[in-house]
A and B are shown apart, each in its own frame.
Chain A
Amino acid sequence: MVRIVTDSCSDITPKMAEQFGLTVIPLNVHFGGKVYRDNIDLNTEGFYQKLTRSKILPTTSIPGPAVFTDTLNNLAKETREILVITLSRKFSVVYDIVSRSKESLKSKCNIEVIDSQLGIGGQLILAVSAALMARAEGTLEEIASWVTSAIPRTHVLMTFDTLEYLRKGGRIGKAQAFLGDLLKVNPILGIKKGEAFPITRVRSRARAVDFLVNFVKNFKKIDALVIEDGTTTNELGKLAQRLQGLVPDEHFYRSKVSPVVGTHVGPHILSVSVLEGE
């Protein structure tokens, strides 16, 4: 069976990873001198508690190449085919590190690495769908080509109360010119061609949520849907209700933005990701 690997910026929780037979390589969050493995040593709830208590702002890092080679080596003992789906190359060098680790692999395993050009829920959709295909005995070639073709159909939309965190992390891309910080605005961003992309701005959180709902409802056909939050669990519950029935329950995923992503987006992120039906 093809094994699917992704990084923790896909916001795939350990529980989901187990459920779908996915391998998730955690990136790191640093609080002062302490290093936490994303969603392993520190979950989202614990992270945001720390964030509000801590005077030091957290930073993130990518684990050493050994972590990647070890993971791939271990999997290579069980399978001849591995597909790695990474966070957008424009956000991080995970893709490059994995591509390099592949070369130094001991066994003769067939490994394909795909830059998802996405992150969070979008990456989650690709990884989970790939895992489902693997279970259905898809070949590496089939799955890889499906993932590549599904990238343009995968849409991620996020809203924040502030772009402050994204700006601090320098991962704002084309949205740079979009910072209406003289006014109270709720920015709405997407991820396009691997970068954060400004969509629009609204003047209240309620309107931002409406915008996300309308965005999802405008698709004629949806194959999978992800909604996720940072700290606003109740809001996510209401959002789930409003989007119920648009997609079969088994393809409607609810998650939390992982600590590593949370470092760059702040506690009030709310996001929807859609795999548009063909």
Chain B
Amino acid sequence: MTRHEQSKGRGVQTGSVTGHQLKEMFNAGTAWLEKCVPEINAINVFPIPDGDTGTNMLLTMHSAMEEAHRSQDGNASSVAQTIAHGALMGARGNSGVILSQFWKGFAKGLKDNQRLSSKALARALSEASEAAYEGFVNPVEGTMLTVLRDSANAAEAAAKANSRNLTKTLATAMQAARESVANTPNLLPVLREAGVVDAGGQGLYVLLEGALHYLRGENDTLKHGKPRLIPTSQPLAPGITQMPAEVEVPYGYCMNFLLEGQDLNLKKIKKNLKKKGQSLVVTGNSSRIRVHIHSFKPGEIIDYATKQGVLHKIKIDNMDDQYAAFIKMQRKKLPPVDTAIVAVASGEGLFKLFRSLGTTIIIPGGQTMNPSVRELVEAVDSAPSNKVILLPNNKNIVVAASQVQSLTSKDVKVVPTKTIPQGIGALLSFNYDMDLENNASAMAEALNRVKSIEITKAVRKSQINGMNIKKGEFIAVLDDNELVANGKKVKDVITNALEKADVKNAELVSIYYGAETKPAEARKIADEIQNEFSVEVETVQGDQPYYNYIISLE
């Protein structure tokens, strides 16, 4: 570092840094971000276990920094380029894709620069902002995009005033990001109503803050401190909940076992296991309990469980291996097809269904496990055809999917399916007799003929659409953008949502019941709906996580 002043605390001023230091800055930023991932995840607009913004940004940054570490080149320009490449390949979810656009622009702004200077940072942030906006046909204000632009503008002004002080420029950019994040609810009504700030903007701010801590040499803060999240500037809105949303990270171990004992306390065991992992499913009675859980530390869970009783049928799988094996298995079996269909889905039942409907490759993932761009590209590349249709089946995966075309030599068409029912609707209308282009447009048309209702449990209390939602209540989301019903009884919530979705004009209602839903309950509800609305109803075992029910109306 070229230090102009003294070397302690906030007084440290740095004129410019090398590529190596740039790498370290954002390593620090990433580590800083990691500390508040659950909190960022928790501020999703809907209280549903959403396509976790914090997780997606973190995983995208991990991929970006891993790539950077592989490169030995010490100049700032090439470091930024490797980060950008890593971010693009690792981008998950909308926020991850915006972040990868950020890095693409950042690298462009730093082109041919040996070092990151005050001016270079301002230019890089401006390019980053532009690149991020370019990624959207209709950019929405009050999101990560706005935060990025405000911060870039502030950096420009600061660089003009202090052309030799990188620290000052970054600090100004970060401060502007902070104010911009607090202001997001004023720009985006849906945030205002939910009483939260934009999660992606929040993540970006934390990333910059972490980088600044490094630049200032505040290692103790980085080590022992924790980012403070920005509350909304809206005075009347309820505060941000401290309850972290459930996070499903698609790594770690998947465990299944049978626990036998005497007087087992199902409730208590469930409660305790919940703290130790994700995707928890506990079923059984006081003598036999079946457990399914995802965790990074399988030992802890085994340890806990053996204290409760005797374990049987223990199965622990590394989900990375599982994923690789899954893709490999699919690849082996595949006969060449004219047009391959690659779809994202989660749950054994949905896997089976998508396969039976002619999907060539299924990428496990969905609401809380957004596959990265790399995973999507790999699946497309392994498909036994050069013509591929990609069905993201989730709102948060659509943007990542749209990046795939530029990263493969294959001809890829993305049918922007935002829900599982839309994906099934599109898949059904696939015409074996048509070419890629025509199929993609016919499928895109078909998804408009399907309405989707997703039923899940609220992960926190919330106020939205004039509804007061209590934590743990069932909520219904229509077409993945409108919360239409809530309540304690799942049947009532479904009935309510069906009415809102204009069930009277539907010919067919399909109910895909989730991993935590009993088939008997699903069938009973189906019968009741059939009688109540005199519409044909079918039930399908979906086994999807989180969503007790996914319902389509056609």
Contacts and interface: CB of A to CB of B under 8 A. Distances in A.
B187 interface: no
A204 B432 contact: no
B498 to A, nearest CB: 17
A179 B536 contact: no
Interface string B327-356: 000000000000000000000000011001
A185 interface: yes
Contacts of B507: 203-204, 206
A180 B428 CA distance: 9
Nearest to A181: B356
A183 B431 contact: no
Contact of B353 (A183, A190, A206): A183
A202 B428 contact: yes
A183 B432 contact: no
B356 A182 contact: yes
A197 interface: yes
B554 A203 contact: yes
Contacts of B179: none
A180 B430 CA distance: 12
A121 interface: no
A183 B428 CA distance: 10
Given A183-B538, A184-B538, A200 B429 contact: yes
A201 interface: yes
Contact of B432 (A181, A197, A202, A206): A197
Given A183-B357, A183-B538, A184-B508, A200 B352 contact: no
B145 interface: no
A190 B510 CA distance: 27
A35 to B, nearest CB: 37
Size bracket of the B interface: 10 to 19
A262 interface: no
A57 interface: no
Nearest to A175: B432
B237 interface: no
A198 interface: yes
Interface string B477-521: 000000000000000000000000000000110100000000000
B424 interface: yes
A206 B433 CA distance: 21
Interface string A203-221: 1101000000000000000
A199 interface: yes
Interface in B258-306: none
Contacts of B432: 178, 197-200
A181 B429 CA distance: 15
B101 to A, nearest CB: 37
Contacts of B428: 180, 183, 185, 200-203
Interface in A185-201: 185, 190, 192, 197-201
B536 to A, nearest CB: 7
Contact of A184 (B357, B429, B536): B536
A136 interface: no
B472 interface: no
Contacts of A178: 358, 432
Interface string B397-438: 000000000000000000000000000100011111100000
A66 interface: no
B495 to A, nearest CB: 21
B151 to A, nearest CB: 49
Contacts of A198: 358, 432
* Most B Cβ at <10 Å: residue of A177, A182, A197, A204: A182
A202 B357 CA distance: 12
Contacts of B431: 199-200
A182 B352 contact: yes
Nearest to A186: B428
B240 interface: no
A200 B424 contact: no
Nearest to A198: B432
Nearest to B510: A183
Nearest to B430: A200
B540 interface: yes
A166 to B, nearest CB: 16
A203 to B, nearest CB: 5
Given A200-B432, A204-B507, A180 B554 contact: no
Nearest to A179: B356
Interface in B348-384: 352-353, 356-358
Contacts of B357: 180, 183, 201
Contacts of B429: 200-202
B358 A197 contact: no
B540 A183 contact: yes
Nearest to B540: A182
Contacts of A183: 353, 357, 424, 428, 510, 538, 540
Interface string A62-92: 0000000000000000000000000000000
21 contacts: A177-B358, A178-B358, A180-B357, A182-B353, A183-B428, A184-B508, A184-B510, A184-B538, A190-B433, A198-B358, A199-B431, A199-B432, A200-B431, A200-B432, A200-B433, A201-B357, A201-B429, A202-B428, A202-B429, A203-B428, A203-B554
Closest CB pairs A-B (n = 7): A200-B431, A201-B428, A180-B357, A198-B432, A182-B353, A184-B538, A203-B554
Given A182-B353, A183-B428, A198-B432, 10 more contacts: A178-B358, A180-B357, A182-B352, A183-B540, A184-B510, A185-B428, A197-B433, A199-B432, A200-B429, A203-B428
